[in-house]
Structure 1
């Protein structure tokens, strides 16, 4: 990751709605959620959610797939793992294992 892409990802999460959407999509795992389900789960208006999802897509935090007339959103877990790795790569002078830092794998795609 570059400093620029790191800032873009972090900025895209700097909203309570976006952070809640990210966490909900992580919880949904590889199945993701269609926009209407996500809006209902977060108790936000669909047009409000659309605005936030667009910002998250712009930072590549989400993946979206057309399913008929619906859009299914999925969290980009590998990007988040890369972000955490970038933020912690210099931990303990470049030896994160000495600090007990590890990035667990979640939702691995086969």
Structure 2
């Protein structure tokens, strides 16, 4: 909760709901493409509802990844690992795009 008091003496409180990430199952990299895409949509929706910072996005995502995906993440450049936008783009390219041979 945050609050802000204006000159007129009015105080406005802003509440951020607690969103429990355990409500979402762990990511399954072996699931179908549509299931992986839907999982990411649910994760992002949960993050928006919870008002998560970029740092929190990354932390919660890391907790939901299987060990092989965490290993993949660890091998990314540090600037990609620590930037939600860059990490999200890399994650989508790796796990949420149709693979062609």
Would you call these one fold, judging by a TM-score over 0.5? no
**TM-score, normalised relative to structure 2:** 0.30
Larger Rg: 2
**TM-score, normalised relative to structure 1:** 0.29
**Which has a greater percent of strand?**
1
